[in-house]
Structure 1
Amino acid sequence: MPRRLIIDLMRASCDVPFVSLARTLNIRPLLEARGAAASPPGFAAVFVKAFALVARDEPTLRTLYVKWPWPAFYELPRNIAMVATARVEDGEPCVLPQRVGDPDRLTLAEVDAIIRWGKEAPADQVPAFRKMLLTTRLPWPLRRLAWWVGLSFGRQRANWFGNFAVTGVSAYGGGELHALSPGPYILSFDVAKPDGTIGAMIRWDHRVTDAALIARTFARLEEVLNGEIAAEIRASRASEPKPVRAIGA
């Protein structure tokens, strides 16, 4: 079933005219904040919330291209992120998309917990997985109809695929990942380097926007990672319980 889901997902992604822009981000303040935290959030959660904070103030990053009842743009009132989650189902490695709603309104700990739940919980207990796998079990004619509905209507497309996806292979050594998705924006990230930098890539639906906005998005993303995100990690560290020291008589 998970491989059939990926096949359907790739078929749905074929018509999206993706363009890519890669950039190296200087995130030394973020890395220092993470290094000082006892339980730092994963980089997936960090990038999900950071991109959502940028998209909150930039409506184009929350805009989809839909085809029915006629070609149009559909602006989402809030962020919905889809996170590629590596799992093992029935002894086979696979990837399933975990849904994170309103990540800009959640704490980093909450975003991280949702992503970790998607990695560790049984698939039938994760709503996003359960819905997609139920659809994937349908016979092809019904499955095709379900995908058509999910791709053609703005609200349904947002519910199924969100306004952006986050993925990466940093846990497996890193690399430049050119991912595909029916959604309009895909953010991937590499392994953080010892010099305080990290490679990142944004792929986007060229029907929705152009490279100038994505270049500005990278600049703003770097600011948010080193600003709001690093500050939240430092604040969470300050609120961690202090260890109790035993004092002898």
Structure 2
Amino acid sequence: MRASEGVPLITYQRTLDLTPLAQARARLPSPPGFAAIIAKAFALVAREQPVLRTLVVDFPWPHFYELPRSVGAIAIAREIDGEDCVLIQKLVAPDELALTGVDALIREAQTLPINEVPMFRKLLRISALPWPLRRIAWWSGLSLARQRANYFGSFGLSSVSAIGPGNLYPTSPGPYMLSYGRLGDDSRLDMVIRFDHRLIDAAPIARIMTRLEQVLNTAIAGELQAMHSPSTGHPPVRAVGI
């Protein structure tokens, strides 16, 4: 929260029509969760749009730093010693992984013992440091470009849709924070993106949201369809422009 105070986050929200995706997902007995679906789709769009892989870094002077690959930071609700908390699972290049692999990494973070998740162990070690050392560790994670990606990713993802309806507008050190609601009976999904206004304006974000909807209904829907009938020989939904 302290790291997010100085980030000028702007919110853009749109309702996406995900009929092809919803139809393909409904055919699977155990479909991938929407966290994995959104993370991979956004990383696929970021493959085309370098600005979605760009960080705003302050050290040694304010500058932009473009990452070669997307890194997702997925908020995971867990319990430690009887206390509710939120930890971060890192997804490196989810666009290069099978959707089942992305989903497995998220589910492991949700179910494995805390000390068996490498990213959780790293975060808890830092949190246990004395205040001066902890502050230095946070500073290096925020100020050094490669460490920024390692700790905070190029985009974040957080949602409470599994608990109930409603939209979430989380803060983040940036540059992008995604959230989504529940998929409606009409196959429509509320999607929220909060973005660092120093990096990008609202008009490109609106176009990116349109592209995200296209990718969800083509590349991701096609992969889900292939999971339903991997040996039928019928081609999946064609992934336009990927």
TM-score (norm 1): 0.91
Letter in 2 for 1:144: R
- Aligned partner of 1:107 in structure 2 is 98
**Matched residue SS, 1:38:** coil
More helix by share: 1
- Aligned partner of 2:216 in structure 1 is 225
- Aligned partner of 1:126 in structure 2 is 117
Deviations 1:173-203 (A, max 9, x none): 1211110111300010000111110000000
Deviations 1:198-218 (A, max 9, x none): 000000111111111110111
Q: CA RMSD in A?
A: 1.1
**Matched residue SS, 1:96:** strand
Q: Work out the CA distance in 2 between the residues paired with 1:61 and 1:177.
A: 21
1:228-239 paired onto structure 2 within 5 Å:
228-239=219-230
Deviations 1:23-77 (A, max 9, x none): 0000011111110112210000000000000001100000000011100000000
Deviations 1:53-111 (A, max 9, x none): 00011000000000111000000000100111111221222211110111000000000
Q: Work out the CA distance in 1 between the residues paired with 2:231 and 2:161.
A: 27
- Aligned partner of 1:73 in structure 2 is 64
1:50-69 paired onto structure 2 within 5 Å:
50-69=41-60
1:165 lines up with 2:156 in the alignment: yes
- Aligned partner of 2:187 in structure 1 is 196
Structure of greater Rg: 1
Letter in 2 for 1:155: R
1:147-158 paired onto structure 2 within 5 Å:
147-158=138-149
Letter in 2 for 1:23: R
- Aligned partner of 1:7 in structure 2 is none
- Aligned partner of 2:32 in structure 1 is 41
Percentage identity across paired residues of the two chains: 54
Letter in 2 for 1:208: L
The count of residues paired between Structure 1 and Structure 2 equals 232
- Aligned partner of 1:216 in structure 2 is 207
1:88 lines up with 2:79 in the alignment: yes
TM-score (norm 2): 0.94
Q: Which ranges of 4 or more aligned residues in structure 1 deviate by more than 2 Å? A: none
Report if aligned partners of 1:168, 1:174 keep a CA contact under 8 Å in 2.
no
Q: Where do 5+ consecutive residues of structure 2 fail to align?
A: 233-242
